[in-house]
Amino acid sequence: MATFDDSQRVFQYDKGELRKIASVIRKMGDEAKEQARSVTGGLVDFVVGEIRSAARNYPRPRQATRIADGIKISKSSVVGEFGIGFASQKFSGGATTQLREGRPATNAILAGVEFGSNNLKQFLARTPKFGSKGSEGYFIWPTMRRVQPDIIKKWENSFSQVIEKWDD
């Protein structure tokens, strides 16, 4: 079961729980793994849809929508994974949707679009701090924080049904 850390407003599993889940997944047969992929695939599709919707409501939607539309979902994952920000996603002028923070400056724009910048005018203002590390974000992280409690609950319920059926 995931725990909730109110100071950081983040849900997380401890490493022992994750090892147990991974162990059960490794022992499952192909049919059970396919069921797990189906369950997590639906949840990931939902999260990605919510991120794409949030990107369309971003104050400057062209960049955000392009980043969100480029999300790649791992169809082989039994725990639900997706990737965002790729070198192959190019804008005119050479910018990519990769995540690159700090110096030296690069043509990667994901961090600037998601978190803003106080120094670069092509991005919105930097978002406020979030917890002890990082920033709030504009559309990816706020969306993930908003849907995370429901997604974790659905994942745990669905996955325990798969495990019950196949854990003999």
**77-116: pLDDT as tens digits:** 777 778 877 666 666 666 766 666 555 556 777 888 888 8
The residue behind tokens 């978190």 is: 115
CB atoms within 10 A of CB 22: 12
Q: What's the whole-number average pLDDT of the chain? A: 78
Nearest of 100, 43, 104 to residue 77 by alpha carbon: 43
Task: Please list the ranges in the chain whose pLDDT falls under 70.
Answer: 1-15, 18-19, 22, 26, 86-94, 96-106, 162-163, 166-168
**Closest to 151 in 3D by CA, of 83, 89, 91, 80:** 80
The pLDDT value given to residue 72: 86
Residue in this structure with the two tokens 């971003």, named with its chain if needed? 58
Long-range (24+ apart) CB contacts under 8 A made by 111-119 are 113/58, 113/60, 113/63, 113/64, 113/67, 113/138, 114/67, 114/138, 114/139, 114/140, 114/141
Type and span of the H or E element at 72: strand 72-73
Please tell me the distance from the alpha carbon of residue 138 to that of residue 130, in angstroms, as a whole number. Answer: 12
